[in-house]
Structure 1
Amino acid sequence: MSTSVSTRKSLLWLVAVGFFMQTLDATIINTALPAMAASLGESPLRMQSVVVAYSLTMAMLIPASGWIADRFGTRRVFFSAIVLFVLGSVACALSRSIGPLVAARVLQGLGGALLLPVGRLALLRTVPRAEFLAAMSFVAIPGLIGPLLGPTLGGWLVQYASWHWIFLINVPVGVAGCVATLKLMPDLRAMQQRRFDSLGYALLAFGMVAVSLALDGVSGLGLRQAGVLLLLVFGFASIAAYWLHALRRTDPLFDPSLFRIPTLGIGLLGNLFSRLGSSCMPFLIPLLLQVSMGYTPLRAGLMMLPIALAGMAMKRVATPLIMRFGYRRVLVVNTALVGLAMASFGLSAPAQPVALHILQLVAFGAVNSLQFTAMNTVTLRDLDEAMASSGNGLLSMVQMLAMSLGVAAASAVLAGYSEVFGSTNNVLATLHAFQATFATMGLITVASALIFWHLPPHARSVQPEQPEVSGQH
Structure 2
Amino acid sequence: MLRPRRRGIASVNAEVRDGIVPAAGRIAMTPDRSAQAPGANYRLVALIIASALFMEFVDATVLATALPTMARDFSVRPQDMSVALTSYLLALAIFIPASGVLADRFGSRTVFRTAIVLFMLGSLACGQSPTLEMIVLSRFVQGIGGAMMIPVGRLVLLRTVAKQDMVNAMSWLLVPALIGPIVGPPLGGFIVTYLDWRWIFYINLPMGMLGLWLTGRFIANVREERPNPFDAIGFVLSGIALGCLLFGFEMVSRPGEAGLAGTLIAVGLVAGTAYIAHARRREGAILDLALLRDDTFRLSVIAGSVTRITQGAQPFLLPLMMQVGFGFSAARSGTITVATAVGSLAMKSFAPRILRRFGFRRSLIVNGVIATAGYAICGLFNPAWPTWAMFAVLVEAGFFMSFQFTAYNTIAYDGIDKRQMSNATAFYATFQQLMLSLGICVAAVALHLAMLARGHALPTLGDFSAAFWVVTAISLSATIWNLRFAPEAGAEISGHSDDATPTGARPAGQES
TM-score of Structure 1 vs Structure 2, range by shorter chain: 0.7 to 0.9
What displacement does 1:417 show? 1.0
SS at match of 2:489: coil
* Residue in 2 that maps onto 1:199: 233
Work out whether 1:431 is the aligned partner of 2:464.
Answer: no
Question: How far apart are the structure 2 equivalents of 1:119 and 1:445?
Answer: 27
* Residue in 2 that maps onto 1:254: 287
Q: Which residue of the other structure, out of 298, 309, 332, is the alignment partner of 2:331? A: 298
The structure where helix makes up a greater share of residues is: 1
SS at match of 2:460: helix
Deviates most, 368-377 or 116-125: 116-125
Work out whether 1:103 is the aligned partner of 2:103.
Answer: no
Q: Is the 8 A contact 1:152 1:302 kept in 2?
A: yes
* Residue in 2 that maps onto 1:360: 393
The one-letter amino acid paired with 2:225 is: M
Question: How far apart are the structure 1 equivalents of 2:447 and 2:184?
Answer: 24
* Residue in 2 that maps onto 1:468: none
Q: Which residue of the other structure, out of 412, 422, 435, is the alignment partner of 1:402? A: 435
The one-letter amino acid paired with 2:138 is: A
Distance 1:75 1:269, change over 3 A: closer
The one-letter amino acid paired with 2:309 is: L
* Residue in 1 that maps onto 2:500: none
The one-letter amino acid paired with 2:321 is: L
Q: Is the 8 A contact 1:219 1:412 kept in 2?
A: yes
Work out whether 1:2 is the aligned partner of 2:36.
Answer: no
Structure 2: which 5+ runs fail to align? 1-31, 496-512
Q: Is the 8 A contact 1:23 1:146 kept in 2?
A: yes
SS at match of 2:285: coil
Q: Which residue of the other structure, out of 254, 260, 276, is the alignment partner of 1:227? A: 260
Deviation string, structure 1 residues 91-139 (Cα, Å, up to 9, x no partner): 11111221111111001111122234445566778x6979996877655
Question: How far apart are the structure 1 equivalents of 2:115 and 2:143?
Answer: 9
Distance 1:246 1:2, change over 3 A: same
What displacement does 1:143 show? 1.8
Distance 1:392 1:245, change over 3 A: same
Distance 1:450 1:7, change over 3 A: closer
Q: Which residue of the other structure, out of 342, 345, 348, is the alignment partner of 1:309? A: 342
Deviates most, 429-438 or 326-335: 326-335
What displacement does 1:43 show? 1.2
SS at match of 1:462: helix
Q: Is the 8 A contact 2:316 2:440 kept in 1?
A: yes
SS at match of 1:364: helix
Q: Is the 8 A contact 1:60 1:205 kept in 2?
A: yes
Q: TM-score, normalised by structure 2?
A: 0.81
Work out whether 1:54 is the aligned partner of 2:88.
Answer: yes
Q: TM-score, normalised by structure 1?
A: 0.88
Question: How far apart are the structure 1 equivalents of 2:406 and 2:59?
Answer: 22
Work out whether 1:447 is the aligned partner of 2:485.
Answer: no
The one-letter amino acid paired with 1:5 is: A
Q: Is the 8 A contact 2:249 2:442 kept in 1?
A: yes
* Residue in 1 that maps onto 2:78: 44
Q: Is the 8 A contact 1:57 1:113 kept in 2?
A: yes
Q: Is the 8 A contact 1:424 1:430 kept in 2?
A: no
Q: Is the 8 A contact 2:171 2:406 kept in 1?
A: no
Q: Which residue of the other structure, out of 415, 421, 426, is the alignment partner of 1:388? A: 421
* Residue in 1 that maps onto 2:205: 171
Q: Is the 8 A contact 1:421 1:432 kept in 2?
A: no
SS at match of 1:382: coil
Deviates most, 341-350 or 171-180: 171-180
* Residue in 2 that maps onto 1:335: 368
Q: Which residue of the other structure, out of 389, 408, 415, is the alignment partner of 2:448? A: 415
Deviation string, structure 1 residues 388-431 (Cα, Å, up to 9, x no partner): 33222221111111111100110111111112223334xxx521
The one-letter amino acid paired with 2:431 is: V
What displacement does 1:56 show? 1.9
What displacement does 1:334 show? 2.8
SS at match of 1:303: helix
Question: How far apart are the structure 1 equivalents of 2:107 and 2:490?
Answer: 39
Q: Is the 8 A contact 2:175 2:345 kept in 1?
A: no
SS at match of 2:339: helix
Question: How far apart are the structure 2 equivalents of 1:95 and 1:277?
Answer: 30
Q: Is the 8 A contact 1:323 1:460 kept in 2?
A: no
SS at match of 2:412: helix
The size of the alignment, in residue pairs, is 460
Deviation string, structure 1 residues 187-225 (Cα, Å, up to 9, x no partner): 66532242011111211121111111111011148421x
The one-letter amino acid paired with 1:190 is: E
Q: Is the 8 A contact 1:22 1:115 kept in 2?
A: no
SS at match of 2:430: helix
